[in-house]
Chains A and B, each alone.
Chain A
Amino acid sequence: MSRNSAETTMRRPASLALRLTVSLGVLISLAFLAFGWLIQRSIENHFKELDAAELAVLVHSTQDALLECRGNVAALPMTVKRLAEASVGHHGIFLHVAGADGRPVFSSADIGLSAQLHAVAPVDQIDPATLQTWRAAGHHYRGTVLKLGMDPAAADRPFLVLVAKSMDMHMSYLAGFHQALWLTALGSILIAFVVVWWVVQRGHAPLRRITAEIRQTTSDRLNVRLSPGTVPIELAELAASFNEMLERIEESFGRLANFSADIAHELRTPITNLMTQTQVALSNARSIEEYREILYSNLEEYERMAQMVGDMLFLAKTDNGQLKPSNTRVDLTQEIQELFEYFEAWAEERGVHLALAGTAPAVTGDRLMLRRAISNLLSNAIRHTAHGNAVTVRLTAHGDYTSLTVENPGDEIPTAHLPRLFDRFYRPDPSRQRDGDGAGLGLSIVKSIITAHGGTVEASWSDGSVRFRLTLPNRGTPD
């Protein structure tokens, strides 16, 4: 339920292929559009400049004509007409001259642009930047209004001259060009999207291959590994981490399988005892005393099994992180002294002396769990110490950790067996299986507890002494 609500509140990020395709596609489209716009702009400017140059020639000759006719206002239209005729007409060029008072002096053709004469601010010379675009009678024109010469009929104020050039040819050329340009751009963009999509899909092929490989990993095929060398460098780390994860899972799986087998084996013995004993007891009539004996004997087996189950549950919970050690100050010296008090009578009876050497500042941890771990180490050591010898507990404070060593004189343990001492149900000497040293889980519990505290355990043998050493990190202040 909680997983479902988490899924609904956290939206899944968009697919990588989609993200890549869209972002690359948009980028390519923008580049195409910018390029198209630039081409269009420069062609339009080019036409504008061409028009301006042509109009400038006309303006120049008109100006000459206006100067030539100075003083002879009546001859003006004829002169202007003659001079202008050379350049006007077949080029689609239009010229209209008006006096400063607005009276028409000359008009090359009536195309309906005279109204523009007073609509725009007159300029002194042709400049592409000040050219206007006009539309009249279904045609497009580009032109401007200029102040030229001096009109003697109107107090020598300049004439108003309107020049314009038909843009129809340019327009039709540009229209065709635009269409071709934008169709090409659109086509290229579409192709770009498709190609990017394809490339991205192909780029993800190694990912799909890894997925297929991972899909083949089942609990009975945990030994399969990905090969980080055959995937792209970006995926190598993923493959390596996945392999490491598999490694850990395989190891835990193996341990779990062994553990289950061990449990079955360990339970088989007491159950066989109970069954045989009960069946034999029931096969004949017996005295009350005999029945009582059998029940007592059964009770011992039951207790052993109950303790084993309890220990296994504790191990399972500690190893699965269900049992989190609390964070309190634990004075190891005091704990050891209290444990000595507890074991004192038993040790004395076995002729074993208990000694504590060294001190260490308090560590942070779970008092009950640590007590249990040290207690298991102590009972193990006392049990394996011969009469007249001593079990020595040594506390040492190091910089960032504290170590505790439980040492007792004992027979040599082969190096190969040492790390396995902490394995569940492990007994170095199988013949000594059930002489009262519990279910063989004591040292596993020590390891579980110390590991849960972030510490380490190790066993060693040298100079006739067995040493169990555990370290606990100094983890700052308790809660």
Chain B
Amino acid sequence: MRILVVEDEPKTGDYLKKGLVEAGFVVDLCRNGIDGIHLGSTASYDLVVLDVMLPGADGWAVLAALRQAGQEMPVMFLTARDQVEDRVKGLELGADDYLVKPFAFSEFLARIRTLLRRGKTVEPEQLSLADLSLDLLKRRATRAGKRIDLTAKEFALLELLMRRHGEVLPRSLIASQVWDMNFDSDTNVIDVAIRRLRAKIDDGFAPKLIHTIRGMGYLFDEPEQR
């Protein structure tokens, strides 16, 4: 997966690139809009990350130029300005996501993976990992052949974790996807919910599937695959 990052702030650019490379992506970084337009329209990328305020040509101009050049890859905007008009403008120009600084890197990564996955998923009827399986039609979870009773929200939480297994999911993303809470909460509600789910699907079983990644969020995976 090749990603183009256009970001003029040196530290931000370097760390975005570093983080994305470590997450397994091939990353090109450029520092201004003109280079961004050039690279984006000549090379082939799976996704472009664009800062709004850029020297040379701003993010809107880069996006417009890319779309003009027939590049249809998903584009994510990064901005320090959180104005509704900006969001609307970005979406009208064909941006696919919009992330306001400061953001957590885990959130950034999760959203990038969502964009890359978009349109490629085939709806499965069943999710399974190790000896845990989730029947999405019958709304039933079983581990090692044993039926596990889950509440509706627990089921939704587990479904999210399983669908995105191998990814670190930040708490904010979990809150937004499972409970439709689209703002930062100062409580540890997500931690409690995960703890309860863990008690049902991990306690008494091996290997443990839900992992806490300190400072970032939660990961659902088989340990040996990490």
Indicate if B181 sits at the interface (CB-CB under 8 A).
yes
A324 to chain B, nearest CB (A): 9
Known contacts A300-B215, A313-B82, A345-B196, A338 near B189 by CB under 8 Å = no
Contact with B along A320-351 (1 / 0, CB 8 A): 00110000000000000010011101100100
Indicate if B148 sits at the interface (CB-CB under 8 A).
no
Indicate if A372 sits at the interface (CB-CB under 8 A).
yes
Whether the pair A341, B186 counts as a contact (CB closer than 8 A) is no
Q: Roughly how many angstroms separate A307 CA and B193 CA in the complex, as a whole number?
A: 21
- Find chain A residues with CB under 8 A from B193 CB: 345-346
Beta-carbon contacts under 8 Å, A231-264 to B: none
Whether the pair B184, A342 counts as a contact (CB closer than 8 A) is no
Q: Roughly how many angstroms separate A379 CA and B175 CA in the complex, as a whole number?
A: 14
Q: Among B83, B153, B181, B192, point to the contact of A375 (Cβ < 8 A).
A: B181
- Among the listed stretches A30-38, A424-432, A435-443, which one makes contact with chain B, having 4 or more residues with CB under 8 Å of it? A435-443
Interface residues of chain B: helix, strand, loop or mixed (majority) = loop
Beta-carbon contacts under 8 Å, A270-322 to B: 295-296, 299-300, 302-303, 306-307, 309-311, 313, 317, 322
Q: Roughly how many angstroms separate A354 CA and B84 CA in the complex, as a whole number?
A: 35
Known contacts A307-B186, A379-B186, A299 near B215 by CB under 8 Å = yes
- Find chain B residues with CB under 8 A from A300 CB: 215
Q: Among B82, B153, B189, point to the contact of A346 (Cβ < 8 A).
A: B189
Q: Among A317, A375, A439, point to the contact of B185 (Cβ < 8 A).
A: A375
Whether the pair B102, A323 counts as a contact (CB closer than 8 A) is no
Whether the pair A341, B214 counts as a contact (CB closer than 8 A) is no
Q: Among B84, B102, B182, B187, point to the contact of A383 (Cβ < 8 A).
A: B187
Q: How many A-B residue pairs have CB under 8 A?
A: 56
Whether the pair A310, B184 counts as a contact (CB closer than 8 A) is yes
B171 to chain A, nearest CB (A): 10
Interface residues of chain A: helix, strand, loop or mixed (majority) = helix
Q: Among B82, B179, B186, B196, point to the contact of A338 (Cβ < 8 A).
A: B179
Q: Among B84, B182, B196, B215, point to the contact of A368 (Cβ < 8 A).
A: B182
Beta-carbon contacts under 8 Å, A134-184 to B: none
Indicate if B127 sits at the interface (CB-CB under 8 A).
no
- Find chain B residues with CB under 8 A from A322 CB: 83
Whether the pair A346, B188 counts as a contact (CB closer than 8 A) is yes
Whether the pair A372, B186 counts as a contact (CB closer than 8 A) is no
Interface size for chain A: under 10, 10 to 19, 20 to 34, or 35 or more residues?
20 to 34
Q: Roughly how many angstroms separate A295 CA and B215 CA in the complex, as a whole number?
A: 9
Q: Roughly how many angstroms separate A338 CA and B180 CA in the complex, as a whole number?
A: 9
Whether the pair A296, B215 counts as a contact (CB closer than 8 A) is yes
Q: Roughly how many angstroms separate A205 CA and B104 CA in the complex, as a whole number?
A: 63
Q: Among A342, A372, A383, point to the contact of B179 (Cβ < 8 A).
A: A342
Whether the pair B183, A296 counts as a contact (CB closer than 8 A) is no
Q: Roughly how many angstroms separate A299 CA and B193 CA in the complex, as a whole number?
A: 22
A377 to chain B, nearest CB (A): 12
- Find chain A residues with CB under 8 A from B215 CB: 295-296, 299-300
CB nearest neighbor in B for A378: B187
- Ranked nearest first, the 4 interchain pairs of A and B with the lowest CB-CB distance are A438-B186, A299-B215, A342-B179, A346-B189
* A-B CB contact pairs (8 Å), 5 listed: A299-B215, A346-B189, A349-B192, A375-B181, A379-B186
Please name 12 further chain A to chain B contacts, defined as beta carbons within 8 Å, in addition to the given A299-B215, A436-B188, sorted by A numbering: A302-B102, A307-B184, A317-B82, A322-B83, A323-B84, A342-B175, A342-B189, A345-B192, A346-B189, A371-B181, A375-B183, A438-B186
